[in-house]
């Protein structure tokens, strides 16, 4: 009997650890999946525009996007997309077909160019509203502390009534981040 109780305790602790790890995981969608989901359940779309060779992109993926507060916001407020800016995939969006027409290494995809408005910098994040219209693109590496107020600024539509600087002065973090 003691052995069974011991095993149940060990299994329970393992499940708690797995559950905690899942809470800190962002549910990533393809661009097409996010647009399709947005048709029936409207949310803003967060697009992490990255490349495979970008060191800061990898650091942001490993640290910022695995932070529990960031994962929670992205999972609850957005459809989160990781988009390889150099993909060779053909993407149909807004009545247009986007391709990577470059035949050379490190050619940007047309959708990445459109999302970043030609300012090709990695990592960058593009924010789309619930109607799949580009709100803005924000270049650069961000820690969880730096990203959280930006995420909430767009998620809560604060951009409609105030500047980011004004919003940031009064921002209260929903979770202690590092």
Distance CA 110, CA 90 (A): 9
Which contacts qualify for 116-125: CB closer than 8 Å, 24 or more apart? 116/49, 116/85, 120/85, 122/49, 122/50, 122/51, 122/54, 122/56, 122/57, 122/85, 123/48, 123/49, 123/50, 123/54, 123/56, 123/57, 123/60, 124/49, 125/46, 125/47, 125/48, 125/49, 125/150
**Residue 174 pLDDT exceeds 80:** no
Q: Which pLDDT score is estimated for 27?
A: 98
Q: Using CB atoms within 10 A of its CB, is residue 84 exposed (0-12), middle (13-18) or buried (19+)?
A: middle
Q: Which pLDDT score is estimated for 7?
A: 47
**Residue 141 pLDDT exceeds 50:** yes
| Residue extents of the structural domains in the chain | 23-170
**Residue 177 pLDDT exceeds 60:** no
Which contacts qualify for 156-165: CB closer than 8 Å, 24 or more apart? 159/135
Q: Which pLDDT score is estimated for 175?
A: 57
CATH number of the domain located at residue range(s) 23-170 in this protein:
3.40.30.10
List all residues 6 or more positions away from 99 whose beta carbon is below 8 Å from its beta carbon.
88, 90, 91, 109, 110
Distance CA 108, CA 50 (A): 10
**Residue 14 pLDDT exceeds 60:** no
């Amino acid at each position: 009997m003691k052995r069974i109780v011991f095993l149940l305790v060990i299994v329970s602790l393992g499940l708690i650890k797995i559950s905690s790890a899942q809470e800190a995981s962002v549910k990533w969608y393809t661009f097409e999946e996010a647009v399709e989901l947005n048709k029936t359940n409207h949310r803003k779309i967060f697009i992490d525009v990255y490349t495979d060779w970008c060191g800061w992109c990898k650091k942001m993926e490993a640290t910022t996007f695995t932070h529990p507060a960031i994962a929670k916001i992205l999972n609850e407020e957005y459809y989160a997309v990781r988009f390889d800016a150099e993909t060779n995939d053909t993407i149909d969006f807004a009545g247009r077909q986007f391709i990577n027409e470059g035949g050379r290494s490190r050619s940007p995809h047309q959708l990445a160019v459109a999302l970043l408005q030609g300012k090709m910098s990695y990592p960058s994040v593009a924010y789309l509203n619930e109607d799949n219209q580009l709100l803005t693109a924000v270049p650069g590496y961000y820690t969880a502390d730096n990203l959280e107020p930006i995420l909430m600024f767009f998620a809560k539509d604060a951009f409609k009534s105030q500047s980011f600087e004004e919003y940031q002065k009064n921002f209260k973090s929903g979770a202690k981040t590092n």
